Structure 1
């Protein structure tokens, strides 16, 4: 547990009991939870936690590169604790998100003329989002 928390200390995050509960919930979580879902889960063990604490912690993690934000619906942001390069497939019906770890670098080609002001543009990374309807929602 100490090694787990050390990475957040090194990122400059003050570790309160409530923040530790949030971090523990996120650790290894592949469900891409929303702030509301994180709040509900953490509140079970920390009934005094506020939504503001959850939201502010998520923003602090995002700012420090410890979390990414994934948006299907602009009104419901999802959070991904996996900051390794990967892509997402998202169901537009149920908001389910799954990680895709394939490398699409070779398949993605920029046009020769990217646009004004982008002469000499060099790609340093990419992120692909696939939108559709999952098998559960099409049944």
Structure 2
């Protein structure tokens, strides 16, 4: 079902801003936070507030169309890819990337077995220095 239909059937108004937030999220791999989304959409929707962006993100997450990522920063980041996949964040520049090839099913079952918890969700984060920052460090060290 398309976004407008999903919003309507869940009792939410279909607004250009909500459609724009989802559209931006679904066409980026950058895992932006609400502020980044707001700044990007502001020129197109000058009357839109940051609160509107937060509300749209909250609705998208509730409908299962986006996921909230807590990668240890002040603000949550968002991803329109709602499949369970790990993320990696650069501790220097803050960039966040997907870790697509990692199979996490075994870990999920292992945690259930070891703890007795009936798991309802999981998110896996890795932290390190991205290739670009490593390159900068290396170039800086050479001079």
TM-score by length of 1: 0.79
What CA distance in whole angstroms lies between the structure 2 residues aligned with 1:123 and 1:111?
A: 7
Q: Where does residue 103 of structure 1 map in the other structure?
A: 103
TM-score by length of 2: 0.77
Alignment: residue pair count: 133
Unaligned regions of 5+ residues in structure 1, if any? none
Q: Where does residue 81 of structure 1 map in the other structure?
A: 80
Residue 130 in structure 1 maps to residue 126 in structure 2 = yes
The alignment yields a C-alpha RMSD, in angstroms, of 2.4
Structure showing the higher strand proportion among its residues: 1
Equivalent residues of 2:112, 2:118 under 8 A apart? no
Structure showing the higher helix proportion among its residues: 2
Q: Where does residue 59 of structure 2 map in the other structure?
A: 60
1:35 offset after TM fit, Å? 0.4
Cα 1:57/1:112, change in 2 over 3 Å? closer
What CA distance in whole angstroms lies between the structure 1 residues aligned with 2:111 and 2:2?
A: 41
1:48 offset after TM fit, Å? 0.8
1:127 offset after TM fit, Å? 3.0
Equivalent residues of 2:22, 2:60 under 8 A apart? no
The DSSP-based 3-state class of the residue aligned with 1:44 is: coil
1:128 offset after TM fit, Å? 2.0
1:113 offset after TM fit, Å? 5.0
The DSSP-based 3-state class of the residue aligned with 1:59 is: helix
Unaligned regions of 5+ residues in structure 2, if any? 136-143
The DSSP-based 3-state class of the residue aligned with 1:69 is: strand
What CA distance in whole angstroms lies between the structure 1 residues aligned with 2:47 and 2:26?
A: 21
The DSSP-based 3-state class of the residue aligned with 1:38 is: helix
What CA distance in whole angstroms lies between the structure 1 residues aligned with 2:26 and 2:114?
A: 42
What CA distance in whole angstroms lies between the structure 2 residues aligned with 1:30 and 1:50?
A: 23
